[in-house]
Amino acid sequence: MRRWLSGMTAVAVLLTTQVALAGGLRPAQVAKDAKWVIHLNIEAIHALPPVKMMCDKVTSSEKGKAKLEEMVKKTGVNPAKDLLDITAYATQYEGEIGVAVIHVAKYDGDAIYAGFKKKHPDHKKAKHGEREVVSWTANCHGKEIPISAAYASDKLIVIGSDLDQVKLALDVIDGKKPGLAKGSELAQGLGKNVLFGANCIDVPKSYMKTTRCPVLRHVSEAHVAWSEQGGKLSGKYRLTAEDAETAENFKNAVLGVKALVSLKTSGTPEVTKLLEGVNVSSKGAVFSADIDVALTDITAAAHVLMKKKAEMKKNWKGRHAKKQCGKKKGGDDDDDDDDDDDD
């Protein structure tokens, strides 16, 4: 699952070359028997002041501008405006299975395909109804995995690591196969204000034994949702662990990280204020974490930490230059001593 997500991220960048999203989860576009779902609202994330500040800094540079113009020229999309949201899901946990439904404001299909064809000249095409599905092999972390993709509409692109899953996703989008009900557990917490959310249900014990994910190794169900409203960023985690001891271990692990960060940033009230917004608890086998912080506080902490990092870098360069100067001077003195000995 983790390798698949990395692969889908790379493929999404390849096909859409953009970074921006909007809107909550559309349950009707997720297969009814899905086991996990991840939703990312890039447009809303991009609009957050701290993120916007960072993106503006990148795109205002000559290098950033040139890269943006190149992307727009190649694909006909603006990376900061046209990608609206991404939903990834799968009907099982095992294997490299899953699909990503990418919602865009617009895209240039011909430009995307022209660039794709150069990179994957050995790709294959297949018909599914009136649509054309393109399949190829991608290298992900040294492992080759099959990828298929199709344009579902002028606003939707579907990408998956299994041809049958892509066909199923297209049928769900068309209403030929059932999607999630609005009150579905998998749609929990993924409304219009969500920035990022992930829900996993019915994690099988066989998968818990083999997965690399340190969380899914110990939980049968997980719900994560980050949202923003009125200038406040909120994060909610609900994990149903194997037992009460595991839930308590999750709580202690987070408290340990919180204490370590507090120690490393002591004397920085801006960071302390953020840490005060992190609260964790465990009740029976359920671990909960609630995070509430103001965006202005995040921006303030980021400025302080960036300033400290710049100062540390400057001091390091100064010490390094002084050290090199000392070595050079020492070397000259040695030469003088040699001359004196010769005399």
Task: Indicate if the pLDDT at residue 340 is higher than 60.
Answer: no
Q: Is 168 helix (H, G, I), strand (E, B) or coil?
A: helix
The average pLDDT across 314-326 equals 70
CA-nearest of 227, 163, 156 to 191 is 227
pLDDT above 70 covers a percentage of the chain that reads 85
Residue identified by tokens 């609009």 is: 47
| pLDDT tier for residue 107 given thresholds of 50, 70 and 90 | confident
pLDDT value, residue 69 = 82
Residue type, 125: K
Q: Is 140 helix (H, G, I), strand (E, B) or coil?
A: strand
| pLDDT tier for residue 95 given thresholds of 50, 70 and 90 | confident
Separation CA 297–CA 50 (nearest Å): 10
Average model confidence (pLDDT) across the chain: 84
Separation CA 158–CA 168 (nearest Å): 10
| pLDDT tier for residue 100 given thresholds of 50, 70 and 90 | very high
| pLDDT tens digits along 26-81 | 999 999 999 999 999 988 888 887 788 777 877 788 888 888 888 777 766 776 77
CA-nearest of 18, 11, 5, 17 to 138 is 11
Query: Residue 78 has what DSSP assignment?
Result: -
Tokens representing residue 71 in the block: 């992307």
Residue identified by tokens 């960036």 is: 306
| pLDDT tier for residue 21 given thresholds of 50, 70 and 90 | very low
280-313: buried (b, 16+ CB within 10 Å) or exposed (e) per residue?
A: bebeebbbbbebebebebbebbbeeeeeeeeeee
CA-nearest of 168, 166, 222 to 198 is 222
Separation CA 7–CA 95 (nearest Å): 13
Task: Indicate if the pLDDT at residue 156 is higher than 80.
Answer: yes
Assess contact for 127 and 160: CB atoms under 8 A.
no
Tokens representing residue 105 in the block: 């404001």
pLDDT value, residue 7 = 42
| pLDDT tier for residue 97 given thresholds of 50, 70 and 90 | confident
Q: Is the dihedral of CA 119, 120, 125, 128 positive or negative?
A: negative
